[in-house]
Homo-oligomer: A and B are copies of this chain.
């Protein structure tokens, strides 16, 4: 019976490890949905990544709540960008998972098509921090911060947060 209980404990520990792997992959999967949702003008799918009261602090403007994020996608300048050809590309995230919360650090590139030269201008490259929470309907963004990598300290400070919080890189 002791041997049996030991096996039960092993399975319980393994189940927790599998759940943590699933959480990490799910957060990465949702982050990879942002660009395709935004660049197809899917306002509802984009906003659905956020918690209802989630925030997107884009640096130049802060959007409060999922409806404000849907509105941003549905209006100019975003609509004008995607009508010309735009790509919001989120780089592979560095995820720190803490139970029902997680943070992700990465870059976002915004590329805009230039029809005259038949190529793309790399208009924006930003430091990104995404804060996630587990909700009854799955992982949702509670806050996202975007800081332009323009040499000012704001973007570097955002990136440094990832290394000050964790015990290791």
Binding site for B on A (CB under 8 A): 3-4, 7-8, 10-11, 14-15, 17-18, 21-22, 24-25, 28-33, 35-37, 39-42, 45, 48-49, 82-87, 89-95, 105-107, 109, 111, 113, 115, 118-125, 127, 137-138, 148-151, 155-160, 162-163, 168-169
Contacts and interface: CB of A to CB of B under 8 A. Distances in A.
B25 A15 contact: no
A157 to B, nearest CB: 8
Residue from A30, A109, A138 whose CB has the most chain B CB atoms within 10 Å: A109
A48 to B, nearest CB: 5
B17 A151 contact: no
Contact of A118 (B42, B48, B123): B123
Contacts of A118: 123
Q: Can you tell how many copies of this chain the complex includes?
A: 3
Contacts of A106: 32, 36
A141 to B, nearest CB: 11
Contact of A30 (B11, B111, B155, B169): B169
A97 to B, nearest CB: 10
A159 B10 contact: no
Nearest to A87: B125
Given A111-B122, A120-B125, A85 B45 contact: no
A82 B31 CA distance: 26
Given A4-B7, A33-B169, A120-B124, 14 more contacts: A10-B15, A18-B18, A33-B94, A33-B105, A33-B162, A36-B159, A42-B160, A42-B163, A85-B151, A87-B125, A90-B91, A115-B151, A122-B122, A137-B168
